[in-house]
């Protein structure tokens, strides 16, 4: 019995789904990692490991350096998604659960869309801005409800992570018009090596044997998959299946994170969390249909 080959569009959707599943494990893995590794060390090691892998691949494939005119944008993306975002997220997950973080970060595609609107000078419909404000209000209401009427330090850190990542992915999306998406993230990580390698050496735990295996595996996951390989599948999926269609697959990401958080972090996923996540997903879906031109949304 023979099976028809997947069409280019369906293969793009499949690759997009693989990317979403990979990114969906980022928060649970980070939560495990910071249970035994300092957030600063986790961030430095994560970026350094991913950077060395990226450098090896670029050397093997003999890829030329990006044009110098793109270096400032690559540096901005590097600061945002290779340094600030993972660090703020790691510190935040010392005090909040992965499922909580997934709801707050669920607004990230919408925040990235707002950045894209600014840097590309789009003129979206008024409904886009209404949806943006509504999405922010839902996330803030969720954080206040979870925090007993006040925003926790973890929430503020997650909001900062959203802002940093939105800026990084907005400019990263623009760079993909100049070079393949896998090269963008690879050069960003290589550019971070002069920072990440010394930081990793300085923050490396003194007694490596005191750290259990599970946090080490979590570190490898966020370094190799979340920080690097996940972008291969995601960017390739959008190129093959179309940005507008494949980007909608990311609406499943909070629920993928819920599954991983319940499985690996033993977190209780309440109906309140699921309902707030569903509301955020609905708002993001509405906003994505009201823009004049769609750009890639941001994975975590």
Secondary structure string (H, E, C) spanning 213-279 = HHHHHHHHHHHHHHHHHHHHHHHHHHHHHCHHHHHHHHHHHHHHHHHHHHHHCCCCCCHHHHHHHHH
pLDDT tens per residue across span 149-188 = 778 889 999 999 999 988 887 888 788 778 888 899 999 9
pLDDT score for 149: 74
Angle at 53 between CA 52 and CA 54, to 5 degrees: 90
Q: Which residues contact 49 (CB under 8 A, 6 or more apart)?
A: 219, 220, 223, 224
pLDDT score for 68: 94
pLDDT score for 300: 56
pLDDT score for 47: 97
- Do 261 and 267 touch, CB atoms closer than 8 A? yes
pLDDT tens per residue across span 253-296 = 888 999 999 999 998 888 888 888 888 888 877 776 665 454 45
Q: Which residues of the chain have pLDDT under 50?
A: 1-3, 292, 294-295, 297
pLDDT score for 5: 67
pLDDT score for 89: 95
Write down the pTM of the prediction: 0.85
């Amino acid at each position: 019995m023979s099976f028809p080959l997947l069409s280019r569009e369906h293969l793009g959707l499949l690759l997009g789904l693989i990317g979403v599943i990979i990114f969906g494990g980022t928060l649970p893995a980070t939560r495990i990692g910071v249970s035994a590794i300092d957030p600063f060390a986790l961030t430095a090691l994560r970026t350094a490991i991913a950077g060395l892998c990226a450098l090896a691949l670029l050397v093997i494939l003999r890829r030329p350096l990006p044009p110098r005119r793109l270096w400032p944008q690559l540096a901005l993306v590097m600061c945002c998604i290779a340094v600030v975002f993972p660090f703020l997220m790691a510190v935040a997950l010392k005090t909040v659960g992965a499922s909580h973080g997934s709801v707050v970060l669920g607004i990230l595609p919408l925040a990235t869309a707002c950045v894209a609107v600014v840097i590309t000078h789009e003129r979206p419909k008024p409904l886009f801005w209404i949806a943006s404000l509504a999405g922010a209000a839902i996330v803030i209401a969720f954080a206040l409800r979870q925090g007993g009427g006040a925003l926790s330090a973890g929430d503020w850190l997650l909001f900062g992570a959203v802002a940093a990542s939105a800026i990084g992915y907005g400019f990263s999306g623009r760079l993909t018009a100049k070079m393949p998406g896998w090269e963008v993230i690879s050069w960003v990580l290589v550019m971070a090596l002069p920072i990440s390698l010394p930081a990793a050496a300085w923050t490396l735990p003194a007694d490596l044997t005191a750290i259990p295996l599970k946090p080490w595996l979590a570190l490898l996951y966020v370094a190799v998959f979340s920080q690097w390989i996940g972008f291969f599948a995601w960017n390739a999926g959008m190129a093959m299946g179309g940005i507008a269609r494949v980007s909608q697959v990311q609406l499943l990401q909070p629920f993928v994170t819920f599954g991983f958080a319940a499985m690996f972090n033993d977190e209780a996923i309440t109906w309140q969390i699921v309902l707030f996540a569903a509301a955020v997903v609905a708002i993001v879906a509405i906003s994505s249909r009201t823009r004049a031109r769609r750009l890639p949304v941001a994975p975590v």
